Amino acid sequence: MSLLEVKIPPMGESISTGVLAKWHVADGALVKKDQPLFELETDKITSEGTAEAAGKITFKVAAGSEVKIGQAVATIDTAATGQAVDPASKAPAVAVAPVPVAPVAKEAAPAATVAAAPAPVAKESPAPSKSAPTAPPPPAPVAPPKIAAPTPAGTRQTRRKLSPLRQRIAQRLVSAQHEAAMLTTFNEVDMSGVMALRAKYQDDFVKKNAVKLGFMSFFVRAVVHALREVPALNAQLSGDTVVENHYYDVGVAVSTEKGLMVPVIRGCDSLGMADIEKAIGDAAKRARDGKITLADLEGGVFTITNGGIFGSMLSTPILNPPQSGILGLHAITERPIALNGQVVIRPMMYLALSYDHRLVDGKEAVTFLVKVKQAIEDPARLLLSV
């Protein structure tokens, strides 16, 4: 027998423990090399552990247990290459003896006849006197009202422990509100230009790049354009020091079953629309599949979050520390607006920019949002950088 230990892999210097949320295979099953074995939840990411070799796996840790980095949670017998044996098949067969059937008698014995005792006859009561008053019949007893039995508490509530990732998200959200002087400014954008551009070139774009042209790539490019125009939003505070960033790594929030994650798209200033769409799609898939890494979530200078895909009309997004700004996108709805002195119907979206007022003034925040609005309403600006 050759046993290979399955250990919790290193997840980064700041992560020392996690929770083995669930096993993807059964105890005693045959696994293949690189097959996903378990799901690990930490305070920063959720990831999967895979098999380093093929063989029969034996668990050492149950699902839901807290584990340490480097801890052995199972072993794989690499010498076992046959079919997995069902434990039920190991039980010895039990011979079942035939149950003897009693012979049936040719003639049934006559049933014993039991004489029924005559029922006693009640004597007749004398007829009541005509002059004697008749007593009223007693009222029928009233049944007490039915009181529903109390519902057991277990059927009205369920309790579960907050996952490490969800705990970390909660801590970061509260910390962001306590530590930053957070303020939100709003604007609205006419999406007609972008929608017309997508409708005109979508088929050609898909044929050439094998990916759809979405709205997010326009907003990523618009944010890069606005960051260049208003560099205060591309800076962050470190104690009493202002750190100015001269690169454009933009985080795009992704909703997963485990919570919100913000994978970072690197070098957005040098990426084309197709490259941005592919990078966002790949990052979102890896985040939802639990294959995102800690390095994928670090180093962003600005974040974009899109609540509009869930129908949100307006919100105030919370900063993603240590960043100084986050742009919230919302649902596109047709609304009447005034255009050139006339009321027209246009597909409109509300934009919300939350920023750290310790570092960014209101004028800079409003200017940034106006630059985003101008770039979206006139996409040619993104090509000409004006």
Just list the catalytic residues: 357, 361
Q: Which run of H or of E encompasses 384?
A: helix 380-384
Distances from the Cα of 175 to the Cα of 170, 182, 276, angstroms: 8, 11, 31
Cα(237)–Cα(176) distance, integer angstroms: 13
Q: Which residues contact 242 (CB under 8 A, 6 or more apart)?
A: 235, 236, 359
Cα(372)–Cα(220) distance, integer angstroms: 10
Q: Which residues contact 315 (CB under 8 A, 6 or more apart)?
A: 307, 328, 330, 352
User: CB–CB of 49/171 below 8 Å?
Assistant: no
Provide the β-strand partners of residue 47: 40
Q: Which run of H or of E encompasses 355?
A: strand 342-356
